[in-house]
A = this chain, B = another copy of it.
Amino acid sequence: MKTLGIEHIEKVEKGTILSAKGFKAGGIHAGLRYAKKDFGMIYSEKPASCGAVYTQSHFQAPPLKVTQDSISQQQMLQAIVVNSAVANACTGEQGLKDAYTTRHLIADRFQIPEEFIAVASTGVIGEWLPMDKIEKGCSEVMVESNEDSAQSFQQAILTTDTVEKSACYQLEIEGEIITIGGAAKGSGMIHPNMATMLGFITTDATIASEKLQVALSEAINQSFNQITVDGETSTNDMVLVMANGMVEHKTLDEKHPDWKTFKKGLQLVCEDLAKQIARDGEGATKLVEVEVVDAYTDDEARVIAKKVVGSDLVKTAVYGADANWGRIIGAIGHSDATVNPETCDIYIGETLVFHQGTPQAFSEDIVSSYMKGEKVEIKIALHIGTGVGKAWGCDLTYDYVKINASYRT
């Protein structure tokens, strides 16, 4: 048996949603997009426990409502069907009917109960699904277990993303190796009109839906909920996880000795995907990571980190490689969290630029040169507690404006 690291968690290079046992996937061109793949599916050999997190938007799109309806019945999923190009959002009664039809067609063809099927869409808001093409997708999509089919799925869910996004980690539970893999899409939190951040996670661990939901919600608070490209929330955002129990071990719950390890593994997959989304933000040239330590609570640390990483002024300064810590102060300053200016330290990379309420002398050249790299880390130490948190985003560039000023035309 393969031996895992100290924490019993190891990243699997090139791992995917098919790395865990018992999953199949596929993606095809059904005609919603001009030439690219636009219709995908994940399938589990056995009905799987599941967890789901949905957008907080008031305008929740029909596919999310259908998915909620499915999960509410037996808390199990066996398939997830996804289309790109059209979000089926803000489409009224007809949109809901279309999402149910999609679910029905897949249930019929794969001979699985309708309530075991989740539906997801991403694309333009306010247009109805072209149902002839959706029908084509439902009748032609193939699911297989080879890595090509994982890649086809990854491609089928993209909109203006420039790269596919996947992540995979393995960990030991009772001496058995279990795998958690994921795929995601997203490049603006709302993509122009091309809505959405979507995340799909598969694992062969044995766990009930109720506990899986707990683990997913925790993981998401420290990952997908901590990225921002433009501060927008889409109508279609959704993260789904399926656990099919193909690796047999005592069912995971809070009392299981490996519960924390499993949660950590799930969080690492989510964090890895979330960072890939942030890095692929519209027009972005680099990943920005903000870490807040010694905050009053973890929640407050996360709030501040997200505020800083989401500030247009910080984002433009990063783009310009300008060590403009006044903008970081500005962003920290207007959060609702507890802050004492007299005890606040700010680092850009390794350089202390602001210490306990007072500007520090530092080499602008060294910091500017650091900020020209692929990843910029900002660290804020508040010295008022033990709370920690991170958030990820990207720089704000001419290309962001270009992409979004002329998206539909």
Contact = CB atoms under 8 A, between A and B. Distances in A.
Contacts of A400: 312, 316, 401
Interface stretch (A39-47, A56-64, A207-215, A291-299): A56-64
Interface residues of A, number: 63
A89 B398 CA distance: 30
A99 B319 CA distance: 34
Contact of A320 (B58, B339, B409): B409
Interface string A65-81: 00000000000000000
Interface in A315-353: 316-317, 319-320, 322, 324-327, 329-335, 339-341
A106 interface: no
Contacts of A55: 333-334
Contact of A405 (B235, B317, B409): B317
A28 interface: no
A387 interface: no
B232 A404 contact: no
Contacts of A335: 58
Interface stretch (A19-27, A169-177, A354-362): A354-362
A58 B125 contact: no
Given A396-B401, A405-B316, A126 B326 contact: yes
A109 interface: no
Interface in A375-403: 396-398, 400-402
Given A232-B331, A316-B404, A320-B405, A90 B341 contact: yes
Nearest to A283: B401
B232 A312 contact: yes
B357 A193 contact: no
Contacts of A190: 313, 326-327, 330
A124 B324 CA distance: 10
A130 interface: no
A217 interface: no
Contact of A313 (B59, B89, B232, B312): B232
A406 interface: yes
How many copies of this chain does one complex carry?
Answer: 2
A327 B90 contact: no
A324 B231 contact: no
Interface in A83-128: 89-92, 124-127
A59 B333 contact: yes
A255 interface: no
A21 B57 CA distance: 52
A201 interface: no
A2 interface: no
A331 B407 CA distance: 17
A261 interface: no
A404 B330 CA distance: 14
Given A322-B407, A407-B322, A56 B334 contact: yes
A359 B126 contact: yes
Nearest to A319: B405
A283 to B, nearest CB: 9
A245 interface: no
25 contacts: A57-B334, A58-B332, A58-B333, A58-B341, A59-B339, A59-B341, A90-B329, A90-B358, A90-B359, A92-B358, A190-B313, A190-B330, A192-B317, A192-B326, A193-B327, A195-B330, A230-B311, A232-B311, A232-B331, A235-B330, A322-B407, A322-B408, A368-B409, A396-B404, A398-B402
The 8 closest A-B pairs by CB, nearest first: A125-B326, A320-B405, A57-B333, A233-B334, A316-B404, A58-B339, A126-B359, A59-B333
